[in-house]
Structure 1
Amino acid sequence: MSYDALLWLSFGGPEGPADVRPFLENVTRGRGVPPERLDEVEKHYLHFGGVSPINELNRSAIAAVEPLLEMPIYFGNRNWHPMVEDTLAEMKAAGVKRALVFPTSAYGGYSACRQYDEDILRARTAVGEGAPELVKLRQFFDHPLFVDSFADAVRAAAEGLTEYRLVFTAHSIPLSADKAAGPPEEGGGRYSRQVAEAARLVAGKLGVADYDVVWQSRSGPPQIPWLEPDIVDHVEELAGKGVPAVVVCPIGFVSDHLEVVWDLDTEAREKAEELGVGFARAATPNGDPRFAQLVAELVAEHTSGVQPRKLSDFTSAGCTVNGELCAPMCCEPARRPQRPQTSS
């Protein structure tokens, strides 16, 4: 089947101080997040001048992929400009009839996968008649180029360290959301199991048998259980055990966006320094030429019938057409607990 373009679909981020609050309101719309929490997160962005690295990182990655493809690449976001609805309208005006979609997440789960299907459906609805057909590419957490890139990044980060603990980290989600991640027959947990598998594959490349998988960037109320332990708490625990240094591999992220530069390079590093623990952080893959090649290979699976390259037995999930689910009830959003009724 032929395709006219690739849509690079990402999360989005503010590109100036005035963008920060409306961006955060877009991210949290309908989720009941209190204003005080937005105030706290807003400070993280303002610490970096109100600019998230994510848009520029995406533009750089797109520039690296473009020479490898025989089709134009369009860039759209879920939460900030360029918004995916506007990008899809631009694609329609340019005569694009059918396009592939690369979502900038390697994993399953609601936010990492299904919400991109919702973005596609919303954008096509907004554009209306004549909206391009959109085929989303599969999850790639176990692609050998993804694994090799992280393995080399860990080696570079650990250079000069004679003794350290390898710690993998990914964005935490509520336990209820992780349970809903994956078709019912899988029993849920697709996201956390995929993260654990990616960590196992990278550690195997490094010859490391003993390592940790932890979580970061929790943003929910304390009464709702999330995936644990948190990276900062884990650094404190390792310090108590006399671990001299940690090498942190952000296996859950494809680029150095705000959750990486704040939660790891700022908060976790500061905690390590406070406790006298050495701290090194492995680079994320989108600056590695192998990441561009990975995207080109995912595209070739559709355009040239190239066989998928995988290092695990996990199903090649996530590939969808026009936002349709790849499996019934897959990666459903977590349901927020109902507020208790009060008598008037």
Structure 2
Amino acid sequence: MCSRVEAQRRARASEREERRGDVSGLKGVLLMAYGTPEHLSEVEPYYRDILGGREPSPEAVATLVERYRAVGGGTPLLEITRSVADLLEQRLNRDGGDVSWRVYVGMKHWHPYIAEAVKSIVADGLDELVALPLAPHYSRMSTGGYRDAVKRSMAQASSSQPTWFIESWHANPQFTALIAQRIRDALVRSNAAPPDVEVLFTAHSLPARIIDEGDRYPEELAESAAAVAQAAGIASWRFAYQSAAKTGTPWLRPDILESIKQIAREGGKNVLVVPFGFVCDHLEILFDVDITAKRAAEDLSVRFSRIEMPNNSPDFVEALYDIVASGAGARVVGLSG
């Protein structure tokens, strides 16, 4: 399997070089995600990286190891992101005209790090770069971390090409339509009448102090959920946060488990979770939603389901193409030039 994947990558690299000889410009896209350990032995150093080099407690490491063990020892985050990168590169070059595109993958907290990707970008001599975090909604704490990592890595690598950072893209019409269609498909699969299904949008919680700091994260989530619900024809829906860390300080609420309890108290029998703050199957989906939230719902006799994630689906790749090629529904800032 590994040899076949490497052979495919070498073939694509050869195609890139051949294509560059026929074009007048070379542009790139840096797709970024949070990162994930590929083996249980990597959980502790991965956790240490998240904490900025501080040592996590043995208890915290053990808890995270058990979560990864519960989903099979790892998640497909890196594999999916690489697949999206390959498909997006093909899509960009299909209509690229006299410009050739290359798409790179960089992770915030594990290999391949953003800095590693930037080194490859500099070596390839791009004329222009678009940096795109695979997180639809902006927060200074989360999305801003990607921006800072790109700027820091570019400075370290003496990178000088014009670089555009897409800090928010939830309003892209194709992304909105994609999530709306996922909701409609899930409602069909549920065999329940739509009015009898509680639609619960979720996104990653963050420390509550971001509100005092003027972060628009909650407002972007509310706007995005309303747009998706309207596109899906959903008149009634709820929103909750998920995956809050245990830091001893308040995090944004309501939490998904609180919302499920509220649905049960109100006599609800079906809940459809829509984790629209995420785009692929990783720990926050496979464990926090599919195991923890599902168990909580079933314990309360509430039938649980969730939408399929965008992952590397053609409609998601097309949405990313639209964001990169036209900037539709995106907020873009320049990092250099």
Q: Indicate the TM-score class for this superposition, using the shorter chain for normalisation.
A: 0.7 to 0.9
Alignment match, 1:194? 220
Choose from 322, 326, 335 the match for 1:297: 322
Q: Is the 8 A contact 2:172 2:323 kept in 1?
A: no
Alignment match, 1:225? 250
Alignment match, 1:110? 140
Alignment match, 1:66? 89
Give the whole-Å Cα distance in 2 for the aligned partners of 1:32 and 1:176. 24
Give the whole-Å Cα distance in 2 for the aligned partners of 1:87 and 1:28. 22
SS of the residue aligned with 2:129?
strand
Cα deviation digits, residues 219-251 of structure 1 (max 9, x gap):
0334x2211111112112211221010011001
Amino acid at match of 1:164: V
Cα deviation digits, residues 256-295 of structure 1 (max 9, x gap):
2110111110101111111111111012223332221122
Alignment match, 2:178? 149
Q: Is the 8 A contact 2:169 2:331 kept in 1?
A: no
Alignment match, 2:328? 309
How big is the shift at 1:138?
4.3
Pairing of 1:12-161 with structure 2 (within 5 A): 12-29=35-52, 34-70=57-93, 71-127=101-157, 129-130=158-159, 132-159=161-188, 160-161=191-192
Amino acid at match of 2:289: L
Asked if 1:319 is matched to 2:333, the reply is yes
Q: Is the 8 A contact 1:20 1:50 kept in 2?
A: no
Give the whole-Å Cα distance in 2 for the aligned partners of 1:52 and 1:297. 27
Give the whole-Å Cα distance in 2 for the aligned partners of 1:269 and 1:246. 10
Structure 2 unaligned runs (5+)? 1-23, 94-100
Q: Is the 8 A contact 2:88 2:321 kept in 1?
A: yes
Q: Is the 8 A contact 1:4 1:99 kept in 2?
A: yes
How big is the shift at 1:200?
0.4
Pairing of 1:139-288 with structure 2 (within 5 A): 139-159=168-188, 160-162=191-193, 163-180=196-213, 188-222=214-248, 224-288=249-313
Q: Is the 8 A contact 2:48 2:54 kept in 1?
A: no
How big is the shift at 1:44?
0.8
> Cα distance 1:30–1:109, how it changes in 2: closer, same or farther (>3 A)?
farther
SS of the residue aligned with 1:23?
helix
Amino acid at match of 2:106: G
Amino acid at match of 1:117: R
Q: Is the 8 A contact 2:47 2:56 kept in 1?
A: no
How big is the shift at 1:216?
0.4
How big is the shift at 1:32?
8.3
Give the whole-Å Cα distance in 1 for the aligned partners of 2:159 and 2:261. 55
Give the whole-Å Cα distance in 1 for the aligned partners of 2:238 and 2:85. 32
Amino acid at match of 1:112: S
SS of the residue aligned with 1:229?
coil
Considering fraction of residues, name the structure with more helix.
2
Segment of structure 1 superposing worse, 60-69 or 73-82: 60-69
How big is the shift at 1:191?
0.6
How big is the shift at 1:317?
3.4
How big is the shift at 1:42?
2.6
Considering fraction of residues, name the structure with more strand.
2
SS of the residue aligned with 2:328?
coil
State the number of aligned residues: 303
SS of the residue aligned with 2:31?
strand
Amino acid at match of 2:184: R
SS of the residue aligned with 1:57?
helix
Segment of structure 1 superposing worse, 45-54 or 255-264: 45-54
What is the TM-score when the length of structure 1 is the normalising length?
A: 0.82
Amino acid at match of 1:190: R
Percent sequence identity over matched residues?
28
